[in-house]
Amino acid sequence: MPAPEPSLPKRSRLKDILLWSFSIILAVVLVYYFAHNADWKEVWKEIRNADYTWVFLAACGEVAFILFRVLRWKIILLPLETGGKKISYWSLLRAQVVSFALSGVAPAKLGEVARPIFLSRWEGIPLTTSVASIALERGLDLIAIIVLWFVFLLTGTGEISADSKPYMDALNAISLTIFIMGVVSITALLWFAKKRKDIKKMADGSSFLGRSPLLKKLVHHFFVFAEGLQSFQKKRMIALLILVSVVAWGCIGFTCYAAPKAVRIDLPASSSLLILTLVCIGASLPTPGGVGGVHKAIHIALVVFYGLSEDNAVSAAILGHAVMFLPCVLWGGLYLVTGRIHFREVSFKKEDDTGASAEG
């Protein structure tokens, strides 16, 4: 008889309360500083009179972003499709959408924790390998955002306010630092992907590791983790992954352009790349669904860099946040309502390195 599936160590109720409290307080503070100077009658008037053709197009940009991200994840996992085994695009789509939905309602990006667990359960991929594929995705996201930021620097800086120069200098310094770190990381991954078999052979024959079971187990898990990085063995594959990443984030860039257009704010097309960069920074804050962080990011872009009024910026930020997060929350909820995924699957249980639930 199979033994009960072991659970991950439970967090204390106090820790959960502190996490949620911090997340909600941070969101409230950011929302206050985002909206306290706005004339709310004017804001709601602008939102009610929004051009819903542009709202629909903005939401389409978010959906396209999801579909391209899933395509990229599928490409990353292609090396694992051996012996006739295929990883279902639709399983990846479900995992992606539900994880985004969880991140849309919970603090601390819990959806990103759920995504590799879903993949491991549904496709039998080792959890450690699945986590590696998510880590690689995050690296590709950074590369894509930096590429689009450099496109903005080449095409769009002439349209921004002269008063925003100190902020531009800060963003340039941050982007250059991230770019250098990205180049170093990719170089290291390329070297490791090329030498992985030789390094593993050395590790397997190491007498030092043989005398240390714990260290040997850690090294084993590291190589299982590295299975998710096999896409970095070929330069063509790397180029394809970066291209798909840039296209995916370009879709969000379009959403960043369409949301202000919906409330009749006319900005140059290059503004979308500046807004996108700031939105990525705002979304990284651990608030439920990016509340406050994304709002404030769009607000800063429109007020500080383009000199718009508070009311225009607040209405565009509210609409922009809604079209970036609501489609995933509703889509993920639809999966739950229709039974395509069950509530019991949205739990964090420990899985072994075969990807299956641990059984006796």
Mean pLDDT per 10-residue section of the chain, whose length is 360 residues: 42 73 88 88 92 95 96 89 80 90 75 83 83 84 89 84 82 81 76 72 69 65 62 76 95 96 93 93 86 92 91 94 91 80 58 41
2 in a structural domain: no
Distance CA 282, CA 270 (A): 19
| Tens-place pLDDT, residues 39-66 | 999 999 999 999 999 999 999 999 999 9
53 in a structural domain: yes
Distance CA 42, CA 132 (A): 47
307 in a structural domain: yes
**In this predicted structure, what is the pLDDT of residue 156?**
75
**In this predicted structure, what is the pLDDT of residue 211?**
65
Distance CA 13, CA 120 (A): 27
At 138, list the tokens.
């995050």
**In this predicted structure, what is the pLDDT of residue 183?**
78
Phi and psi torsions of 104, nearest 5°:
-75, -15
**In this predicted structure, what is the pLDDT of residue 248?**
97
21 in a structural domain: no
**In this predicted structure, what is the pLDDT of residue 276?**
95
96 in a structural domain: yes
Look up residue 208 and give its amino acid: F
At 13, list the tokens.
């109720």
At 45, list the tokens.
């008037």
Give residues with Cβ within 8 angstroms of 313, minimum separation 6.
Answer: 298, 299, 302, 303
199 in a structural domain: yes
Rg of the chain, C-alpha, whole Å: 22
Distances 270 to 31, 49, 177 between C-alpha atoms, Å? 26, 25, 22
Pairs from 269-274 (Cβ < 8 Å, separation ≥ 24) = 270/151, 270/152, 270/155, 270/156, 270/159, 271/156, 271/159, 271/301, 271/305, 271/306, 273/148, 273/149, 273/151, 273/152, 273/156, 274/152, 274/156, 274/160, 274/301, 274/305
**In this predicted structure, what is the pLDDT of residue 350?**
46
Please give the residue range of the domain that contains residue 60: 39-345
Number of domains within the chain:
1
139 in a structural domain: yes
Distance CA 251, CA 247 (A): 6
49 in a structural domain: yes
Look up residue 80 and give its amino acid: L
Contact yes or no for 185/146 (Cβ under 8 A): no
**In this predicted structure, what is the pLDDT of residue 6?**
37
